[in-house]
A and B are shown apart, each in its own frame.
Chain A
Amino acid sequence: AQSVTQLGSHVSVSEGALVLLRCNYSSSVPPYLFWYVQYPNQGLQLLLKYTSAATLVKGINGFEAEFKKSETSFHLTKPSAHMSDAAEYFCAVSDVTNAGKSTFGDGTTLTVKP
């Protein structure tokens, strides 16, 4: 069984500050890990993914995430927040054995203050 825990349902940062969204996962097999972003009134879209290649993954809009197996973590970061980053972010875990099914976290709403 797989699970994802996103620490903090709401995160607020000032524009220009570091963004850190936390994700811990549980998986009995080597995982695929994803971060998705959802802007208001839209579907989820992929930010970045880890597929057992480089442990530091770079995504769109300046986001990156680091896979740490020893900590079972896949935290999302961005050095400098922009107002347009305000959205809901979902961490998800999958693997090769389940027809592409992903288990999603509960989501973290990011607010960016001017």
Chain B
Amino acid sequence: DAGVIQSPRHEVTEMGQEVTLRCKPISGHNSLFWYRQTMMRGLELLIYFNNNVPIDDSGMPEDRFSAKMPNASFSTLKIQPSEPRDSAVYFCASSSQTSGRGNEQFFGPGTRLTVL
């Protein structure tokens, strides 16, 4: 398996532009997580899905952020409009809920977003 795939790996954009980050989870996994990591705030959970349904979006910083999971193999995180303070590394992770197995998360390589 190729693991969790994220695209793009790097994104540089100007303030006010729309940014879309993409994630393909591991096949067969039924939970998907979006995280943001910065030096100041560390690793933050933004939103997670189970069976394509958003379960908890309380970590989404504001209405400029939105996430979708139209099917089991694809998710997007959109920022519109982007601001310099959104600059961070965004990780997608997926997991499989199997009773007794511990449901560890598998992380993608991340998207490094820079908003100028």
Contacts and interface: CB of A to CB of B under 8 A. Distances in A.
B102 A43 contact: no
Interface of A: 32, 34, 36, 42-46, 49-52, 90, 94, 96, 99-102, 104, 106-107
B31 A100 contact: yes
A77 B33 CA distance: 28
Interface of B: 4, 30-31, 33, 42-43, 45, 48, 50, 55-56, 91, 93, 95-97, 99-110
Given A43-B91, A44-B91, A51-B100, A100 B105 contact: yes
B43 A51 contact: no
A100 B106 CA distance: 11
Contacts of B100: 51-52
Nearest to A106: B42
Given A44-B107, A100-B50, A94 B102 contact: yes
Given A51-B102, A96-B99, A101-B48, A43 B108 contact: yes
A34 B115 CA distance: 33
Contacts of A101: 31, 33, 45, 48, 55-56
A42 B100 CA distance: 28
Contact of A102 (B50, B55, B105, B110): B105
A51 B99 CA distance: 10
A96 B104 CA distance: 11
